Structure 1
Amino acid sequence: MKRTQARELCMQLVYEMIIKEEYNFTGLDLYVEENPEDLNQQSYMTEVLNHVIEHKSSMDDLIKSYSVDWEFDRIARVDLAILKVGFSELLYMPDVPNHVTINEAVELAKKFGTEHSPSYINGVLGKYHREYQEQDETDNEK
């Protein structure tokens, strides 16, 4: 399994968590049990899902703050799942380049979201990334 496929599976597992309102590793455990040959990306998937579970509230708050003119409860659940996987990488996985995270999230939005999803996902993650970069540059100047 390639990283892109693992990211897609993570998004689907996070989507399931959102729908069921149960944040746990059950979906990943079942996948691993049924696909033991597909374990090369298991540590990546475990890390992403762990961040999504552990930081659920702070990620929700971050999504709310960057979703200008969008009511949180009205954001498509697929878009939420994509954003949670994206923020998991942006916030907690520095080994994944930010531009890769954003590009992959937009591709997931094209594949699974509505016609408006790609621009919404790009806008939210891109705005966070730009502000984070500006903050980083300001900190480095001090």
Structure 2
Amino acid sequence: MRARTKARKRALDILFESEARGADPLVVLKERQETDDAPPVSDYAAMLVTGVVERQERIDELLAEHAEGWSVARMPSVDRTLLRIGIYELLWVDEIDDPVAITEAVELARTLSTDDSPRFVNGVLGRISDLADHIRPGLA
């Protein structure tokens, strides 16, 4: 597994755990960075967690707008978390090409979520990618 793929999975683990525990994701991130018994948290994984947390309100607005037939709260937790990471990469991480961000999210959905999740994740991220050039200028 490539380094960034591992980082995405680690970021997913941290964000998913924090949501399940009702804990602040940045506190969970810090806990995971300080423990020796867990897989290491790479700089890229930490950047993903921090970025998603800092922009979650806007990310969730985009999710609500582009996840046809699904509210953010109703989405399976793994899918919602993968989509948040994917949207963050699409819109705020310049060194990652859109197809790579989408493919990585879809592959994690295939491995970690339901049979319908890869298609759902691909569809939502694809719609946002198609509109990214129009969305990016309005981002802070």
Please say if residues 86 and 101 of structure 2, whose CA atoms lie closer than 8 Å, have aligned partners that are also in contact.
Answer: yes
- Tell me how far apart the structure 2 counterparts of residues 120 and 71 of structure 1 sit (CA, whole Å): 13
SS in 2 for 1:94: coil
Question: Whole-Å Cα distance in 2 between the matches of residues 57 and 25 of structure 1?
Answer: 16
TM-score norm. by structure 2 comes to 0.84
Aligned to 1:130: 130
State the Cα RMSD in Å: 2.4
Who is 1:76 aligned against?
A: 76
2:105 aligns with 105
1:14 aligns with 2:11: no
Unaligned regions of 5+ residues in structure 1, if any? Answer: none
Unpaired runs of 5+ residues, structure 2, are none
The answer as to 2:54 corresponding to 1:57 is no
- CA distance in structure 1 between the aligned counterparts of 2:18 and 2:127, rounded to whole angstroms: 26
Query: Given that residues 86 and 102 in structure 2 are in contact (C-alpha distance below 8 angstroms), is that contact kept between their aligned partners in structure 1?
Result: yes
Between the two structures, name the one with larger relative contact order (CA 8 Å, sep ≥ 6).
Answer: 1
Matched, 1:26 2:27: yes
* Residues 59 and 84, structure 2, Cα contact 8 Å, conserved in 1: yes
Alignment of 1:31-46 (within 5 A): 31-35=32-36, 42-46=42-46
Asked if the contact 1:17–1:24 (Cα under 8 Å) also holds between the matched residues in 2, the reply is yes
- The SS at the match of 1:95 is coil
Q: Distance in 2 between matches of 1:121 and 1:95?
A: 21
Per-residue CA distance 1:92-141 (angstroms, 9 max, x = gap) = 111111111000000000011101100000000011101225x49xx9xx
Give the aligned residue type for 1:65. E
Contact 2:15 2:25 in 1 (8 A): no
- Alpha-carbon shift at residue 35 of structure 1 (Å): 4.0
1:43-101 residue CA offsets vs partner (Å, 9 max, x unmatched): 21221111111112111111111111113221000001101111111111111111110
Partners of 1:82 and 1:9 in 2: how far apart? Answer: 11
Length, aligned pairs only:
135
